[in-house]
A = this chain, B = another copy of it.
Amino acid sequence: MLSFPSYQNIEAAHERIKPHIHRTPVFTSRFFNEMTGGNVFFKCENLQRVGAFKIRGATNAVFSLDKSELKNGVLTHSSGNHAQALALAAKWRNAKAYIVMPDTSPQVKVNAVKGYGGEVIFCKPTLEAREETARKIQNETGATFIHPYDHPHIIAGQGTAFKELFEEAGRLDFIFAPVGGGGLLSGTSISARHLCPEIKIIGCEPKDADDAYRSFISGNLVPSINPNTSADGLLTALSELTFSIIKKNVEEIVTVEEREIIQAMKWVWERMKLIIEPSSAVAVAAMVLKKDKLKGEKAGVILSGGNVDFQKAIKLFEELQD
């Protein structure tokens, strides 16, 4: 039974996961401060275990299970950072992790999951095939299914990044977080609304994968249809749960062009010397787009992850110059 997580759930999640995850640093950047005239604080989840915030939610979910729920292992379908995160969190509890991945997944991602001891089950690269394969494995093994974002423990775990950011940077006027399935944004919004009641919470989405924007504007959940963006962590659509939290807390969803995403990524690489993935750059690009609002203000940006194919990234940088 899924329920709307509270800030108290996020506090409890933080205590639960603290011994396992990194408390990632918060950086400022003269370049972006001069650009905006404000104070921008970057929460560096690219420096997190497995290279992304996803380990927060996965660890909270796995460590919330009791022995009976864990005895047959855990299960998810994901081609991305949640797959690695769940495999690692399960390993910490000596539990088995079954990870359903599309048979088109890059070998490096498959190897990473296997490196954490996860058992990879391949399926065709469609949402139906993923869900069907996951159901089949669940029936066969009795493993506990941990959805990548449609799950209160996942959402509560993701909300801990903002809590740490607040502990370092203090009260903020704005927070920018990327939105795909909405786990990070909804968790962030619960923390942010509680800790900084006046904060403006901005969801950041690629224009070419703008289902959250369209859902938010229309008030009705719309699916993600043919998303086409370099930000491959943001292809998924909101769930009823994440959408309901976002509707309640979020001020605005800003959409950004591919060109703006790549430019933002290049700035962070060049000026901050940090490797971030395109999905993280979506939040940076949205912050840049809003720069006129940030003068004299304090803004947070969640750099969600740093798992990127260097060759692809450079190709994108080159296209920028054309």
Chain A contact residues, CB within 8 Å of chain B? 25, 27, 46-47, 51, 269-270, 272-276, 306, 310-311, 313-314, 317-318
Ordered nearest first, which 6 A-B pairs have the shortest CB separation?
Answer: A273-B306, A273-B275, A314-B314, A46-B273, A310-B314, A47-B273
Chain A interface secondary structure, helix, strand, loop or mixed? helix
Q: What is the bound-complex CA distance between A169 and B268, given in angstroms?
A: 27
Q: What is the bound-complex CA distance between A276 and B276, given in angstroms?
A: 14
Q: What residues on B are CB-neighbors of A314 within 8 Å?
A: 310-311, 314
Q: What residues on B are CB-neighbors of A47 within 8 Å?
A: 27, 272-273
Q: What residues on B are CB-neighbors of A317 within 8 Å?
A: 310-311
Shortest Cβ distance from A44 into B: residue: B273
Q: What is the bound-complex CA distance between A230 and B19, given in angstroms?
A: 40
Name 10 interchain pairs, CB-CB below 8 A, sorted by A: A47-B273, A269-B310, A270-B275, A270-B310, A273-B276, A273-B306, A274-B274, A274-B275, A311-B314, A314-B314
| Closest chain B CB from A263 CB (angstroms) | 14
| Closest chain B CB from A277 CB (angstroms) | 9
| Closest chain B CB from A187 CB (angstroms) | 22
A269 CB contact (under 8 Å) in B25, B270, B275: B275
A25 CB contact (under 8 Å) in B25, B272, B313: B25
A274 CB contact (under 8 Å) in B273, B310, B318: B273
